[in-house]
Amino acid sequence: MCGIFGYCGPRHPLAELLIEGLRRLEYRGYDSAGVAVRTSGGVRVVKSVGPVRHLEARLREQGWDERGASDWGVGIAHTRWATHGPPTEANAHPHSDVRRRIFLVHNGILDNYEAHKGRLMARGVRFESETDTEVLANLIGERYVSGLAQAVAAALREVTGTFGLAVISAEEPDRLVVARRGSPIVLGIGDGETLVASDVTPILPFTNRVIYLEDNEVADISPRGVEIRNLDNIPVRRDMHQVEWTVDAAEKGGHAHFMLKEIFEQPRAIEDTVRGRLDWERASARLDGLKLTPREMAAFSRIILTACGTSLHAAMVGEYYLEDLAGRPVEVAQAAEFRYRNPIIERDTLVVAISQSGETADTLAAVREAQNKGAVVASICNVVGSTIARETGRGIYLHAGPEISVASTKAFSCQVAVLLLLALKFGRMNRLSPSAGEAILREVERLPARVQEVLDGAEAIREVAERYATARDFFYIGRGLLYPVALEGALKLKEISYIHAEGYHAAELKHGPLALLEESVPVLALAPRTPGYERMLANIQECRARGAPVIALRTRGDDEVGRVADCVLEIPECSEWACPIVATVALQLLAYYAARARGCPIDQPRHLAKSVTVE
């Protein structure tokens, strides 16, 4: 949640550079924004409510002028997803201490800020905002004696909770200090300049060399370079990484929205995800990043998949894969509940954490709890160098490229593809025959082409979406492997079109939800020719008998479904293993076109942000 961008180097004008960085981070939060830049007259702060373009307009209105500033430029910027206090200019970042010496931007939540705030108010400090961040600014200001980095470290030793922050001082014009605990901070190492951000996306136009801060580390950035220490003032050495993503990968590429671009990138993303991982010789999968020998993998008698949101739905598909193909008992655990319900972890348990960003706070907490209980923990992540990937030390990268839209699309498809390969790997060490393994490899190999066929039919899906875009409520129903797809399809529709949508197992309709069906409530029935097909036809009839219009997702050319549905979405014929990915792409397009017909802000749905780094 929230986006931080900062710069320390010789470039001017800084305000324009900071605004461009915020634009590339706006998917992390967009209810207010602000910048703080060192000028000849001190530190100047400009804030505004709303998206980054409002901040840019405010800067133009005020005639921003950096003339007279030193040759060395220092500035910080922030785009906010509200936690403490509503979106107002007072609550927008950057915040300062009462003496206006310290200016900072902050992601995360400080758990004990109220106690500190009470003590500061008793000493006469007056607060202008409702945020925990302003409290932290004053804590740093209290300890600002021998240098900014030392003051930041001293204050952070006294707070609990999560933070990613960037701090500048009116008294040290060439210094930028950043720190993290539970909220990501990336340093971009350029030619004589350093950039900081919440993720790599805004850094890519300047450099692909990055350093990832670890928890409880403080980086002191100046013209002399970067010095990293932990909160106990012990020097730390961090390796530099090369980012494979390009600047173009984080642009819209001619599409109206990032979401549409990312939907259409899925054939290529799946290709990149499975490349080099199809082991035809053994009719299995190559998953070297797991760092597990066949003997070690065979010893696991139980698997736990833990995730949140869209990744949780991918895990639910993975549960079917692993149990059907590998014969392993699998539990899908909602990551936010994992550490609070005291889960049973046995010595032969493998825990797999799934997260697009690799920074999801609840999933990271689940990782740490599983490790604390002695489990072997692996991860499935898209972002190289992310916290979950680093802390697990083993896992599978998606290589899907950056995903900018808040609504996840290509990450889901690639996660499911990886889970199918994981199930194949386990299955071949157990009961799965070589011929069955080869059949699954062929399905995986054909996935990009199958997805492309769905994308080629986007115009027909658009027509259906526009026909039902005025609905207030929607049901999605599925069976077996397609039940999680129903949940995911409903999630996509509700989060970007604001249509109330619910996903159900089709067998659950008669246990309550049928009471809500009427002419104004469309039902999307997942009815391709896969296991459960006949029962789904009966469920469609049940819905139509209650007056509800039915949109059926069918295998191309299936006239039987066409006769019982009001309209259809078509996907190419594919196996039950490939169907969850192929069907989901059609539902992504349906949600996108419905949201577009309703005039919704598709890439930035209200109240949501991309990377959930707070509990």
Buried b vs exposed e over 160-189: b needs ≥16 C-beta within 10 Å?
Answer: ebbbbbbbbbbebbbbbbbbbbbbbbbbbb
Does 373 participate in catalysis according to the annotation? no
Query: d(Cα 58, Cα 48) in Å, to the nearest integer?
Result: 7
Decide the pairing of beta strands 209-212 and 73-80. unpaired
Show Cβ contacts of residue 447 under 8 Å, excluding neighbours closer than 6 positions: 270, 274, 417, 578, 581, 582
Buried b vs exposed e over 245-264: b needs ≥16 C-beta within 10 Å?
Answer: beeebbeeeeeebbbbbbbb
Query: d(Cα 312, Cα 324) in Å, to the nearest integer?
Result: 19
Query: Which one from 2, 308, 381, 543 is the annotated catalytic residue?
Result: 2
Q: Do residues 477 and 486 make contact, with C-beta atoms less than 8 angstroms apart? A: yes
> Would you give the end-to-end CA distance of the chain in angstroms?
10
Query: d(Cα 222, Cα 73) in Å, to the nearest integer?
Result: 10
Decide the pairing of beta strands 376-381 and 395-397. parallel
- Distances in whole angstroms, Cα of residue 444 to Cα of each of 147, 281, 310, 413: 56, 15, 21, 12
Show Cβ contacts of residue 277 under 8 Å, excluding neighbours closer than 6 positions: 285, 286, 287, 421
My answer on whether omega of the bond before 235 falls inside 30° of 0, hence cis, is: no
Q: Do residues 352 and 304 make contact, with C-beta atoms less than 8 angstroms apart? A: yes
Does 308 participate in catalysis according to the annotation? no
Amino acid letter for position 18? L
Query: Which one from 410, 425, 492, 610 is the annotated catalytic residue?
Result: 610
Question: Where in the sequence numbering do the catalytic residues fall?
Answer: 2, 610
